[in-house]
Chains A and B, each alone.
Chain A
């Protein structure tokens, strides 16, 4: 329990540091909110100054940060200058969409990579070599290129939608139809994300499993007549999982960052397009909130990884 509290305290400190850094960097970066209004001859500089005063942008940076942080503690994530409304009123939908995409891809990637990694580690020869070649090829491809390749294939096959999150007549569908429509739209972006992370996961699972399979306690079990499948799944898998758990956090963070690009390419209404748009329009609070949300997801991912490690390893649990 102490371990869990320690990790949660660590998370709070990390979020605080990230919020300060992102707030500071964005404020110090060239360009300010309402700058694009200056190019409009019909808007006077007095109007712009009044707007800046209205939103507290003329206050010192420390004061602005504490004002925003205090608001955040009360559930107020700041104000969007571009949308003209509170960030919390519109940020939930893109967050949900990004999480749907990222979590689906993360779960699928792990479900596929675990058996492949173990299969490669336990089968010597052609299978391992072919998979090794395929993962080397995949890992060397930049994600946008991979996304464009799969987009091209989908375009030719015309089986799945190549953009968006739902069909135009989505509201007219039954619940089953809506789920099916969502799954069809999810297919391609999820496939891109799975292909992006799969080689990394397969390689690490394979290496970890190979390492454990050489351990004396596995050799002892083999000599003791324990069946091969029991040796792999019951004796070797828990030990091989230990160095793999940190990759749970990594995979969530990595897929989240890749999903921001994929969302833009695939017109998925998630945090990616919103983030890009907010940077262009210097929408300070939206950018900081998205950065903070991404950090939170990554931290939660790492927390899950730590808890899995804690649950799996009796040496940590009982120390």
Chain B
């Protein structure tokens, strides 16, 4: 049984001077226990909004439609859940800028204690649990880091502390929204390794949102690629990265790989990019959202939305090329 199933999640922001802005247009994803899924996509494709929906974060009065099932039990409409449900049911979220989620006025141990205390830990157990969490995220020696304020920590240490705070509620799923994008390569590798061990030791599922497809090769079990508010391809990491099915994903991987192979070309060679621009959230379309930019488009692509097609052993894809 899947740990979490998100079905047809739609998020629409109503604006006064514009048409409705569609951040998510029917995103569906299933997460298994102990699984690491990387979510890829361009800026504005809806990755962060999807993360917020799962974590129960405030979406500024947006209209949310869709269904979430946690361990088979239905949570109902995504807009109706309270944040307390999320904390209690075990989904934690970690954001891009750790310094923003750390309270600058409180020591690390006080912040962690507040999170720990909220999840049924007795007063006598708090100090031990705080120590354990700091050890888990490798902020050692824990006693020294427990007494520090956020401004006394480096970027990587702050991110580790924010991970400890997320783990304080004993989550079964951790949603990481571009957690390492502001960190150096070495610290990024350490954080990835930390999540791998968390998965191995605690069977925590991780939803890893990133811009960098190449970084997740040895980290994620599956990769889900988002475009214009929908998942257009979900499959095993090696398949999606090396032999993608969807034309957009193929282009995306070509761009990602061109970034590292550009030195092989002559000086002045241009980095690869996808022609055209991704549709903005105000746009409405009847057919495939990628059709205007697609080199392999068919006559029906602009009129008919593609259906979700399962391919044997290679995951799911939304493209007419694979419809039967």
- Tell me the A residues contacting B by CB distance below 8 Å: 215-217, 219-227, 230, 234-235, 238-239, 242, 312-315, 318
Further 14 A-B residue pairs, CB within 8 A, beyond A217-B100, A220-B101, A235-B103: A216-B95, A216-B101, A217-B102, A219-B57, A220-B162, A221-B114, A223-B56, A223-B57, A223-B83, A224-B168, A226-B115, A226-B118, A238-B103, A313-B105
B86 close to chain A: CB less than 8 A:
yes
Q: Is the pair B83, A239 in contact by a Cβ cutoff of 8 Å? A: no
B80 to chain A, nearest CB (A): 16
Total A-B pairs, Cβ < 8 A = 82
A315 to chain B, nearest CB (A): 5
CA distance A35 to B162 in the complex (A): 74
Q: Which of B58, B97, B166, B168 contacts A219 (CB 8 A)?
A: B58
Given contacts A216-B101, A217-B103, A235-B114, contact A223 B149 (CB under 8 A): no
List residues 80-135 of chain B with CB under 8 A from any CB of chain A. 83-84, 86-88, 92-93, 95, 97, 100-107, 114-115, 117-119
B83 to chain A, nearest CB (A): 5
Chain B residue at minimum C-beta to C-beta distance from A222 = B83
Chain A residue at minimum C-beta to C-beta distance from B105 = A238
B151 close to chain A: CB less than 8 A:
yes
A41 to chain B, nearest CB (A): 72
Given contacts A224-B166, A227-B118, contact A239 B105 (CB under 8 A): yes
Q: Which of B83, B87, B105 contacts A312 (CB 8 A)?
A: B105
Q: Is the pair B149, A225 in contact by a Cβ cutoff of 8 Å? A: no
B152 close to chain A: CB less than 8 A:
yes
10 nearest interchain CB pairs?
A: A225-B87, A216-B100, A220-B101, A238-B105, A314-B149, A225-B118, A226-B118, A217-B103, A224-B115, A222-B83
B113 to chain A, nearest CB (A): 10
Chain B residue at minimum C-beta to C-beta distance from A236 = B103
B173 close to chain A: CB less than 8 A:
no
CA distance A230 to B57 in the complex (A): 18
B36 close to chain A: CB less than 8 A:
no
A11 to chain B, nearest CB (A): 27
Q: Is the pair A225, B84 in contact by a Cβ cutoff of 8 Å? A: yes
Q: Is the pair A224, B92 in contact by a Cβ cutoff of 8 Å? A: yes
Chain B residue at minimum C-beta to C-beta distance from A226 = B118
B146 close to chain A: CB less than 8 A:
no
Query: Which chain B positions have C-beta within 8 A of A235?
Result: 103, 106, 114
Q: Is the pair A223, B102 in contact by a Cβ cutoff of 8 Å? A: no
CA distance A224 to B55 in the complex (A): 10
Q: Is the pair B104, A224 in contact by a Cβ cutoff of 8 Å? A: no
CA distance A128 to B170 in the complex (A): 36
Q: Is the pair B165, A315 in contact by a Cβ cutoff of 8 Å? A: no
Query: Which chain A positions have C-beta within 8 A of B86?
Result: 223, 225
Q: For B55, B114, B152, B165, which residue has the most chain A Cβ atoms within 10 angstroms? A: B114
Given contacts A217-B100, A234-B114, contact A224 B87 (CB under 8 A): yes
CA distance A216 to B94 in the complex (A): 11
B169 close to chain A: CB less than 8 A:
yes
CA distance A234 to B111 in the complex (A): 10
Query: Which chain B positions have C-beta within 8 A of A220?
Result: 93, 95, 101, 162, 165
Chain A residue at minimum C-beta to C-beta distance from B85 = A225
